[in-house]
Homo-oligomer: A and B are copies of this chain.
Amino acid sequence: MQAKPPYYAVIFSNLLNVDAQGYAEMASRMSELAQLQPGYLGMDSVRDGLAGITVSYWRDEASIAAWRDQWEHAEARRLGRERWYQSFELRVARVERAYDFDSARTE
């Protein structure tokens, strides 16, 4: 991801229910939709069984608010509470600085 700080991160740490039918399809659809949103900068997502962390990156708070209110995403969030998530924590944070390392890069 090439964006220079400051920008915003939405840190979504979650635990699925044991029966989370339909979750994977929804997650894949939301990942596609997010990429179409203005201000979307990128996403990192890892899941190990029930535990998942997804961090999405956004240009500013307005982009985050617009994504939150996108109708299909709003519906997915409702279903998430109702069916899929045992628990989650959502944090909005302002990225102050960033550093990356690539072992293939000559330094």
Contacts and interface: CB of A to CB of B under 8 A. Distances in A.
Interface of A: 1, 5, 9, 11, 13, 17, 44-48, 51-53, 55, 81, 85-104
Copies of this chain, tallied across the complex: 2
A44 to B, nearest CB: 4
Contacts of A87: 100-104
Secondary structure call for the A interface: strand
B55 A46 contact: no
Nearest to A5: B91
Contacts of A46: 46-48, 51-53
Contacts of A11: 9, 11, 44, 55, 93, 95
A98 B11 CA distance: 9
Given A45-B53, A46-B48, A86-B104, 6 more contacts: A9-B91, A86-B103, A87-B102, A91-B95, A93-B94, A93-B96
